[in-house]
């Protein structure tokens, strides 16, 4: 047996959903650059679940199903209202996601048709959950989803109460497309491990939420914004980053386990960050981000990952910092559910081994005789 810390380089299973080959990311064989440029997020959801892009009828049916399933049970809203308001949104949403299963009659139905219906419900309800918490924690009433709005439009509307403009819809749509799936990342792998015991789809996505929350994974986008706000002004970037690296601390939003020559999603988010800065006239965050990118590369040879420029993008869209990771989860729910469906289709328990490095031949000593 060989031991590989962090499972680096280990190929744990086959998958037909997304691939990273020579630094190029594809969903079902389609280059992410192409999808980021042209696709609606709903098309990507269909692509991940079914292996091909939808035709017009299939796309319209999916949009209708997402709209019909967008409302969340009143009991879950009440639960949110009773929850402490100062908790991290990812902790609250991990709990609320789990609570959804209590009000789904099909929660334990393991047929493929029921699992696809549950995947639709989960993707449909995720933006409603996040937006509801975004308001409830501020003492505001949640806003019901509009049946005539698209997926992205509805989320931005439910969060702010205002109809979003075209620029915001387009930018947010691209961010959703870019975050939708990423092969065997930590949260997706957690979901697959969970459902490989033949546990239900809700248990799988709750496990994934827990894994995404951490700052080495999805939690990094919030940390990037926290860092930008702490630095405050471009003049302080050099000193701050140099000190951090000299102290052997990590700069959030940099580095990646799989990409050693840059994350192909980052360039899209960088461009969006620049475009939004142009539109809002507030260049500060984009400028600081560019300065940090150059410094971290010069000093450490590391390039930004998907989380780095998504921070300034979401900030320019007026989204609160602690909702950045929940927003990631809205998008990644499509990938998690696609992987769970794939796992069920050809399941085998995921159970690796550990190389034991503890003491051996230790005798039991009765409690009275212990020091």
Q: Which residues are catalytic?
A: 256, 307
Q: How far is the CB of 97 from ligand ACO (least distance, A)?
A: 19
Instruction: Confirm or reject binding of residue 216 to ligand ACO (CB under 6 A).
Output: yes
134 interacts with ligand ACO by CB under 6 A: no
Question: Could you report how far apart the first and last alpha carbons of the chain are, in Å?
Answer: 37
Instruction: Report if residue 305 touches ligand ACO, rule: CB under 6 A.
Output: yes
CA dist 93 → 85, 126, 300 (Å): 12, 9, 36
Q: Which of 99, 152, 209, 306 binds ligand ACO (CB under 6 A)?
A: 306
Asked if 18 contacts 264 with a C-beta cutoff of 8 angstroms, the reply is no
> Binding ligand ACO by CB under 6 A: which of 3, 6, 86, 166?
6
Between residues 65 and 291, which has the closer beta carbon with respect to ligand ACO?
291
Kindly tell me which residue out of 80, 220, 277, 323 binds ligand ACO, with binding defined by CB under 6 A.
220
Tell me the per-residue interface mask from 166 to 185 with ligand ACO, x by CB under 6 A, - otherwise.
-------------------x
What SS3 class is residue 165? Answer: coil
Q: Which is nearer to ligand ACO, 231 or 252 (CB)?
A: 252
3-state helix, strand, coil in the chain (%, to 5): 60, 5, 35
Exposure b/e, 276-314, CB count within 10 A at least 16 = b? bbeeeeeeebbebbbbbbebbeeeeebbbbbbbbbbbbb
Cα(339)–Cα(187) distance, rounded to whole angstroms? Answer: 11
State the number of binding residues for ligand ACO (CB under 6 A).
Answer: 19
Per CB under 6 A, the list member of 88, 117, 170, 217 interacting with ligand ACO is 217
Q: For residue 137, what is the enclosing H or E element? A: none
- Residue 276 binds ligand ACO (CB under 6 A): no
One of 254, 309, 314, 344 touching ligand ACO (CB under 6 A): 254
What are the φ/ψ torsions at residue 30 (nearest 5 degrees)? -95, 130
- Report the residue number, 48 or 62, with the smaller CB distance to ligand ACO: 48
Torsion of CA 274, 182, 151, 123, to 10 degrees: -150
CB 327 within 8 A of CB 130: yes
Q: Is 251 in the site for ligand ACO (CB under 6 A)?
A: yes
Pick one of 117, 250, 267, 321: the residue that binds ligand ACO (CB under 6 A). Answer: 250
Smallest separation, CB 311 to ligand ACO (Å): 10
| Binding residues for ligand ACO (CB under 6 A) | 6, 185, 216-218, 220, 250-257, 300, 302, 305-307
């Amino acid at each position: 047996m060989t031991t590989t810390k962090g499972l680096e380089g280990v190929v744990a299973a086959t998958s037909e959903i997304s691939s990273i080959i020579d630094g190029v990311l594809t969903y079902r064989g389609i280059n992410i650059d192409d999808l980021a440029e042209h696709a609606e997020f709903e098309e990507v959801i269909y692509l991940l679940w079914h292996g091909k892009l939808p035709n017009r009828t299939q796309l319209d049916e999916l949009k209708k199903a997402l709209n019909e399933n967008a409302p969340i049970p009143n009991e879950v809203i009440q639960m949110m209202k009773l929850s402490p308001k100062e908790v991290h949104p990812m902790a609250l949403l991990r709990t609320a996601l789990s609570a959804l299963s209590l009000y789904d009659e099909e929660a334990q139905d393991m047929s493929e048709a029921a699992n696809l219906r549950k995947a639709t419900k989960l993707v449909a309800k995720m933006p409603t959950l996040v937006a509801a918490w975004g308001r409830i924690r501020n003492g505001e009433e949640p806003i019901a989803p509009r049946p005539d709005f698209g997926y992205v439009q509805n989320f931005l509307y439910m969060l702010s109460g205002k109809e979003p403009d075209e620029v915001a819809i387009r930018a947010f749509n691209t961010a959703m497309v870019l975050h939708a799936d990423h092969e065997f990342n930590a949260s997706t792998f957690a979901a697959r491990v969970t459902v490989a015991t033949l546990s239900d789809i809700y248990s799988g996505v709750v496990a994934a939420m827990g894994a995404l929350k951490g700052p080495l994974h999805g939690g990094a986008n919030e940390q990037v914004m926290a860092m930008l706000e702490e630095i405050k002004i471009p003049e302080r970037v050099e000193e701050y980053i140099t000190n951090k690296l000299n102290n052997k601390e990590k700069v959030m939003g940099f580095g990646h386990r799989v990409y050693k020559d840059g994350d192909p999603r980052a360039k899209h988010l960088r461009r969006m960050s620049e475009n939004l800065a142009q539109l809002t006239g507030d260049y500060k965050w984009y400028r600081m981000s560019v300065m940090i990118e150059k410094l971290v590369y010069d000093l450490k040879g590391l390039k930004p990952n998907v989380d780095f420029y998504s921070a300034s993008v979401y900030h320019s869209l007026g989204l609160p910092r602690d909702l950045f990771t929940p927003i990631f989860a809205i998008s990644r729910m499509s990938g998690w559910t696609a992987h769970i469906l794939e796992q069920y289709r050809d399941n085998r328990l995921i159970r690796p081994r550990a190389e034991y490095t503890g003491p051996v031949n230790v005798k039991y000593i009765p409690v009275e005789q212990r020091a």
